[in-house]
């Protein structure tokens, strides 16, 4: 028996990465009878067939999952690499904060990667701006933030180290450079990259399905681009836990049930006034709070 990870299922066969190679696997009858759902990232035990050089095997056992993402559908994820361009297109920070809530709620570590650093520096020289205000906000909160250029290679090695022996998902909007980042991390394994529409400045989807690929000593899923993302089901009081800069101050509020909206003596609003909390992050929090409350009333 060999232990490995399911990469993808296709045409009735399942492809498993184990012992530094990919095995084409069929299912034991008991799995077909149970109609069990298999997901990329599932840890499985396989039994090689007698002709081992053919890399064919059967799946004998599926281990319990540590976690599951539904968008994308993948199991046992260690970390989510949230990829956003620093420019061209400008980052959708509302979407970024939604993704942060999604992965935080699932118990998955988020890593923020801002691409097109070379283009951003070029634009900064042209308009005279200084600093990386966008990335500084999230770095100050405590998130792991990286600024990279797939064109020049700057920052790529730092990301590669974080992928080793991990199952990671690349998530973010189309046109942010997910496929270009993967190609820079894994030379020789080229994913199709999208172009930015000159009219809308938005990317075109290039990834249509989910599968794990070997990359930088780990397994990575290049996932379909998100155009929208619903918040996970939660109670209104739980939303604060998804904002680290809010969570550390919540006990300083006058009321234990404070939602940091219209309540008096709110520590979060006080920190907002002193510049300790980003106004844009707070604005997103209020938008999400309204959505959570509306969803609460439905169930």
CA distance 216 to 224: 21
Residue 13: Cβ-neighbour burial (10 angstroms; 0-12, 13-18, 19+): middle
Tell me if 260 is assigned to a ligand binding site: yes
d(CA 84, CA 175): 9
Q: Is position 174 annotated in a ligand binding site?
A: yes
Q: How far apart are CA 150 and CA 147, in angstroms?
A: 10
Does 258 carry a binding-site annotation?
A: yes
Q: Please classify residue 71 by burial: count the beta carbons closer than 10 Å to its beta carbon, then call 0-12 exposed, 13-18 middle and 19+ buried.
A: middle
Asked if the peptide bond before residue 130 counts as cis, ω within 30 degrees of 0, the response is no
Tell me whether residue 133 is annotated as binding: no
- Taking alpha carbons only, the member of 220, 190, 221, 195 closest to residue 206 is 195
- What sign results for the dihedral spanned by CA atoms 229, 167, 108, 185? negative
26 labelled binding-site residue: no
175 among annotated binding-site residues: yes
CA-nearest of 154, 183, 1 to 86 is 154
167-171 and 218-222: which strand pairing? parallel
Residue 217 labelled as part of a binding site: no
Q: Output the six-digit token pair for 163.
A: 């992928």
3 state SS of 264: coil
Check whether 85 is labelled as a binding-site residue: no
Is 180 annotated as ligand-binding?
yes
Task: Say which residue the tokens 């070029």 belong to.
Answer: 122
172 labelled ligand-binding: yes
**Per the annotation, does 153 bind a ligand?**
no
The reply to whether 39 sits in an annotated binding site is no
Structure tokens, 48: 């090689």
Residue 266 is labelled as binding a ligand: yes
Residue 105 labeled ligand binder: no
Q: Which residues contact 228 (CB under 8 A, 6 or more apart)?
A: none
Q: Which positions make up the binding site for Zn(2+)?
A: 253, 258, 260, 266
Q: Which positions make up the binding site?
A: 115-118, 172-180, 253, 258, 260, 266
Q: Which positions make up the binding site for GTP?
A: 115-118, 172-180
């Amino acid at each position: 028996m060999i232990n490995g990870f399911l990469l993808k299922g296709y045409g009735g066969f399942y492809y498993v990465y184990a012992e530094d190679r990919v095995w084409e696997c069929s299912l034991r009858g008991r799995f077909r009878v149970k109609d069990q759902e298999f997901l990329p990232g599932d840890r499985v035990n396989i039994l090689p067939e007698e002709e081992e050089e053919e890399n064919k095997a059967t799946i004998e056992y599926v281990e319990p999952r540590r976690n599951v993402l539904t968008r994308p559908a993948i199991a046992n994820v260690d970390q989510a690499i949230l990829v956003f361009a620093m420019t061209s297109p400008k980052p959708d920070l509302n979407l970024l904060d939604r993704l942060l809530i999604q992965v935080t709620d699932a118990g998955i570590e988020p890593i923020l990667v801002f691409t097109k650093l070379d283009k951003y520096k070029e634009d900064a020289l042209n308009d005279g701006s200084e600093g990386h205000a966008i990335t500084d906000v999230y770095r100050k909160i405590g998130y792991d933030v990286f600024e990279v250029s797939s064109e020049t290679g700057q920052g790529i090695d730092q990301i590669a180290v974080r992928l080793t022996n991990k199952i990671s998902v690349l998530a973010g909007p189309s046109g942010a450079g997910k496929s270009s980042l993967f190609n820079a991390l894994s030379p020789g394994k080229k994913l199709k990259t999208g172009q930015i529409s000159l009219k809308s400045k938005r990317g075109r989807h290039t990834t249509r399905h989910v599968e794990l690929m070997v990359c930088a000593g780990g397994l990575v899923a290049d996932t379909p681009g998100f155009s929208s993302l619903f918040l996970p089901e939660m109670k209104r009081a739980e939303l604060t836990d998804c904002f680290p800069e809010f969570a550390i101050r919540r006990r300083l509020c006058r009321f234990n049930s404070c939602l940091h909206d219209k309540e008096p003596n709110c520590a979060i609003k006080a920190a907002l006034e002193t510049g300790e909390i980003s106004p844009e992050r707070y604005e997103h929090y209020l938008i999400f709070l309204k959505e959570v409350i509306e969803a609460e009333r439905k169930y």
